[in-house]
Amino acid sequence: MASSIARVTTITARSDVSFEDAIQAGVGRAAQTLRNVSGAWVKEQKVEVSDGAITAYQVVLEVTFVLDD
């Protein structure tokens, strides 16, 4: 049986559009730097508010990537 070892790193991403957009941006950027990205967990969500309106969406992601042999 083959085994694999993964590592988890924490990143923060921000979007003016939506939480989904922030997640897409964060995972996309992580995949540019890290090889073998296999998943992400949304650990935190936060909004920025100005004058009662949401102005930005922020997420903290735990990104998992499998280490090379």
What are the pLDDT digits (tens) for 14-34? Answer: 999 999 999 999 999 999 999
What are the pLDDT digits (tens) for 31-69? Answer: 999 999 999 999 999 999 999 999 999 999 999 999 987
Per-residue pLDDT, 69: 79
C-alpha radius of gyration, the chain, whole number: 15
- The fraction of the chain above a pLDDT of 70, given in percent, is 99
Query: How would residue 3 be classed by pLDDT, with cut points 50, 70 and 90?
Result: confident
Q: Which domains does the chain have, with CATH numbers?
A: 6-66 (3.30.1660.10)
Per-residue pLDDT, 14: 98
Q: Extract long-range pairs of 48-55: CB within 8 Å, 24+ residues apart.
A: 55/16
Q: How far, in Å, CA of 32 to CA of 44, rounded?
A: 22
